[in-house]
Chain A
Amino acid sequence: MAPSLTRREALGGAAAALLLASCGGGDPPPATGPKPGSGAALLGSLLALERASFAAYGACLEVLRGEARQQVHAIRAQERGHASGLERLITDLGGDPPPGRSADEYARTFPRLETPADALRFVQDLEERQVRAYLEALTELPDLELRRAAAGICGDEANHLAAARVLQGLQAAEGPFVTGAL
């Protein structure tokens, strides 16, 4: 029998594809202002993830109703705030934030979201990827204040991830170490 792809795996793959597309080679490189190793390029990658997630949650809102819709709406508003904060940090480093993609370009990479369950699984997958990205950034960003900003946003993304899990009837945390361990 041919191997089959579960819906969960399909949505997870779609999340990965969306995030890869958001960081793909089609984006213009960062402006020449910041010094190499300043962290501006990494912040640009995080900004791309935030923008892709913001666009994706717009699609999720179209199929969500009631409390889940309110919660995802609040998550989406926070992602916009994160994106604005990252843009300021890049500018402070002497860079120009990358311009991002159009709504249509993002939408082409989204999976088909037919049910609220599809949308919540997609939110969960995107948030897991964001938490991982910010944890990775913690090890790589060269400046204390940049790391503090990344850690603070990571805490928000962990809140979003847990909310997406609870809305699906799952435990808020899958285990004692979210995407990592000592």
Chain B
Amino acid sequence: MAARSDTETLEDLLAREQRLLSAYEAALRRDAIDPALGETLRDHERAHVRALEQTLAGAGRRNPRASVPSAELTAALRDRDTFAQFAMRLEEETRGMYIDAAARMRDADLRRPLGSIMACGAAHVVALKDSLGIFLVN
């Protein structure tokens, strides 16, 4: 299989960030997350989406379409603990994508900022663990 281009990898990450953003927006609407925590995480995801969109626009690419909410998200919105567990899984999966992407980027100038977003995702997991009262260190 041919290796994915930097642009394709950034599109994958943008789709993932949009999914996280949608999840936090939905959780805030449904009171499935503490409002202060949810707003912070949502705002960070917005900043990640905006940064990736700007980078892709610079490469002359359009943004990938947003997807419909998954049945898994709908189920996770029933209470705060269930949503926190769901969001932690999503953040951990996303962190794995960023680790691979930051290492693979052919454009070395993009590796550090992608690592920086990955580090923010790691912090999100800690914040969600704290909301659940579980051990913070991986």
Please list the residues of chain A having a beta carbon within 8 angstroms of any beta carbon in chain B.
70-71, 74-75, 78, 131, 134-136, 138-140, 144-145, 147-148, 150-152, 154-163, 165-167, 171-173, 175-182
Contact = CB atoms under 8 A, between A and B. Distances in A.
B124 interface: yes
Nearest to A73: B137
Q: Max chain B CB contacts within 10 Å: which of A74, A144, A173? A: A173
A166 B115 contact: no
Contact of B51 (A165, A179, A182): A182
A147 B117 CA distance: 16
Given A155-B95, A171-B40, A161 B123 contact: yes
A173 B54 CA distance: 22
Contacts of A175: 44, 47, 120
Contacts of A160: 137
Given A152-B99, A158-B119, 7 more contacts: A151-B99, A159-B126, A173-B119, A177-B51, A177-B113, A178-B116, A178-B123
Contacts of B55: 182
5 contacts: A135-B119, A158-B120, A159-B125, A162-B127, A178-B116
B113 A180 contact: yes
Interface of B: 40, 43-45, 47-48, 51-52, 54-55, 95, 98-100, 102-104, 108-113, 115-120, 122-127, 130, 135-138
Contacts of A157: 119
B68 to A, nearest CB: 25
B119 A154 contact: yes
A158 B123 contact: yes
Given A162-B126, A182-B51, A173 B116 contact: no
B112 A78 contact: no
A165 B130 CA distance: 11
